[in-house]
Amino acid sequence: MKTILVVEDNAGIREMVREYLAEHGYRVRVASNGVEGLLETRHHPPDLILLDVMMPGMDGLEFLRKYRADAGTPVMFLTARDAELDKVLGLELGADDYLTKPFSMAELLARIRALLRRAGEKPTGGPVRVGVLELDAASRTFVVRGQRVDLTRSEFELMDLFMRHPQRVFTRVELLEHLQEDSVGSERTMDVHVRNIRAKIEEEPGKPRLIETVFGVGYRLNPGGAP
């Protein structure tokens, strides 16, 4: 049975989600703010986290900053903040999905199943090396210039795709479909993912040489883009 942690300060929403997910076969644990949520993750590691943004004590953004430092469990934001900037910030911090309140419970369940399915997918490719980049899907490790680099789940899946198809140009839509991110699937979303990856692998992220922008189309990996 999969365990889902609901971090939500609104008791009504928290209980509604808990009951609904329990009825659909999940073990549900709850917390009313980020501090309680972090304690829960340490004592009862979840398979997925539903995270409110605006909470007293420690809000969802601060929770995610601290949690992402040492864990890769899928995280979905549940929030009334629907501005694109808020969604982008959540993705930049490593959220895997974003659902705006009010939401339907059926949609929430569908997205949870999609995230858990992605998280449980078995890697199919062996280790791959492209220039200064090394990726091993089986051990979920990624190395740049001999140094291990931590990637979020979405970033890892994108690099796996790029490295198995160097020089191929992928449109933003193709990349979003690869991540199954139809929920927040704007081109802006993919730009955020690529910017985050560049910050981790490029020597000069402002002048990227590995992940190239193909203007008007999308992105490609340039195997010779690093000395």
Return d(Cα 52, Cα 61) in angstroms, integer.
9
Residue written as tokens 């049975």? 1
Three-state SS for 108-147 is HHHHHHHHHHHHHCCCCCCCEEECCEEEECCCCEEEECCE
Return d(Cα 63, Cα 165) in angstroms, integer.
35
Domain boundaries, the chain: 3-119, 128-221
pLDDT in tens, 161-209: 999 998 899 988 888 877 765 544 466 778 888 998 999 999 999 899 9
Select from 1.20.1260.10, 3.40.50.720, 2.130.10.10, 3.40.50.2300 the CATH code of 3-119: 3.40.50.2300
Which residues are bridge partners to 48 per DSSP?
4
pLDDT in tens, 19-41: 999 999 999 999 999 899 999 98
Architecture of domain 128-221: Orthogonal Bundle (1.10)
